[in-house]
Amino acid sequence: MKPALDVQVGKIRLRNPVMTASGTAGYGPELAAFFDLAELGAFVTKAVTRQPRAGNETPRLVETRAGLLNAIGLANVGLDAFLAEKLPWLRDRNVPVIVNVAGTTVAEYVEVAAALDAAPGVAGIELNISCPNVKQGGLEFGRSEPGLREVVSAVRAAVRRATLIVKLTPNVTDIVPLARAAVESGAEALTLINTLSGMAINATKRRAILANVSGGLSGPAIKPVALKMVYDVYRNVARQARIPIIGVGGIQYASDAVEFLLAGATAVQIGTASFVDPAAAPAVVRGLEQYLAANSFARAADLTGALES
């Protein structure tokens, strides 16, 4: 018997547990040249902000050992262009669309989220709270509990239809209380993790390689860190609260995805790996199906948290 791959994330039924990760899959057409987006569990867009953003100066990206360091700077077309030019194409692709939302004030988050919630074809809103909170002196919303509660509750009040997902940053002393705060403030699912803060230097030129000096580390290098956070949040928050976790960080092959599910994730996202192979996500779907069959699991959902101890 073919294993059942579908899983539930908030109000969204996913065909399978594999999504793209925000910022690594554009708005859809780019990857659609390589596979049918309907093969995905969900498609997650690049962050959308109120106004279009040009992003940081280049260099914006550099390779490190088994990782990538990026400081793209939330370059995006802005809310209006997203709704007018990007969403219509995406919503016809027969795949749940999750829009990643960023901002620097609570009002901006709320405005963007509300507009997306009202737009047909947006199944989920993923709050990227790893953005500097300009009102609180630049510390990211996601790195302080009050900041997180404020932004999530405010967005919660504005979002009626779409599933509200909160994406957590790993750059914190303890991710558990922040995950709990997100859930208490109304998150229907948690995505973890965003990138780790990092830096690269060119010894010969004696300069930081990124124009922005520092950036976010992604890719296989960070997988152990992401796995641990998924595991901790699952055991301490998500399992009891029955809130699904979307695991992300260094997933390249189906085995990586299985590891995240075992640690407690209900779904996974493929980020940097899509740069290596634009069709990495559907390959993970196929590998996952093989794994389930080979190990006699009837449903992908049965893997969630199924780590033996």
Partner 1 sequence: MPSAAKKWLLKILSSRLAGDDFVWLTLDAPPDWQSRPGQFVNIRCCEPCADELSPLSLDDRPDAPWPRTRGLEIAERSTLVRRPVSICDLRTHPDGGREIVLLVRIVGPGSRILSAKRPGDTLDCLGPIGNAFNLDAPGRRAWLIGGGCGIAPLVGLGRALVARGREVTLFYGGRDSGKIPLSLPPGLGPTGTQAVPVTGIPELGGAPLVIATEDGSLGVKGLVTDALQAYAAQTGWDDVALFGCGPDRMMSAVATLVALHDLPSCQVSMENFMGCAIGVCLSCATKVRADNTAGFVTKFVCQDGPIFEARDVIFEQKWEGCKP
Ligand X SMILES: Cc1cc2nc3c(=O)[nH]c(=O)nc-3n(C[C@H](O)[C@H](O)[C@H](O)COP(=O)(O)O)c2cc1C
Residue 22 interacting partner from ligand X, partner 1, a copy of itself, none (CB closer than 5 to 8 Å by kind): ligand X
Collapsing DSSP to helix, strand or coil, 91 comes out as helix
DSSP string, 95-109: S-EEEEE--SSHHHH
Task: Restricting to residues 19-38, name those near ligand X by CB under 6 A.
Answer: 21-24
CB 15 to a copy of itself: min, Å: 22
- Distance, in Å, from the CA atom of 244 to the CA atom of 131, rounded to the nearest integer, reads 23
Q: Fill in the per-residue mask, 195 to 214: x = in contact with ligand X (CB under 6 A), - = not in contact.
A: x-------------------
CA gap 100, 35 in Å, rounded: 22
Site stretch for ligand X (CB under 6 A), options 117-125, 168-176, 200-208, 244-252: 244-252
Which residues, 6+ apart, have CB-to-CB distance to 35 below 8 Å?
278, 279, 281, 282
| Binds 276: which of a copy of itself, partner 1, ligand X, none (CB < 5-8 Å by kind) | partner 1
Residue tagged active-site, from 7, 18, 131, 258: 131
Residue 170 as a binder of ligand X (CB under 6 A): the answer is no
Task: Tell me which residue of 154, 170, 16, 177 sits closest to 95, measured CA to CA.
Answer: 16
197 binds, among partner 1, ligand X, a copy of itself, none (CB under 5 to 8 A by kind): a copy of itself
Q: Which is nearer to ligand X, 90 or 273 (CB)?
A: 273
286 near partner 1, rule: CB under 8 A: yes
Could you count the other beta carbons within 10 Å of the beta carbon of residue 237?
A: 23
Q: In whole angstroms, what is the distance from residue 124 CA to residue 34 CA?
A: 24
Question: Residue 138 is which amino acid?
Answer: G
- Is residue 104 annotated as part of the catalytic site, yes or no? no
* Pairing between β-strand 43-44 and β-strand 7-9 as defined by DSSP bridges: unpaired
**Among residue numbers 195 through 224, which ones bind partner 1 (CB under 8 A)?**
200, 202-205, 209, 211, 219-220, 223
Contact residues toward ligand X (CB under 6 A) are 21-24, 46-47, 68, 70, 72, 74, 100, 128, 167, 194-195, 218-219, 222, 248-251, 270-273
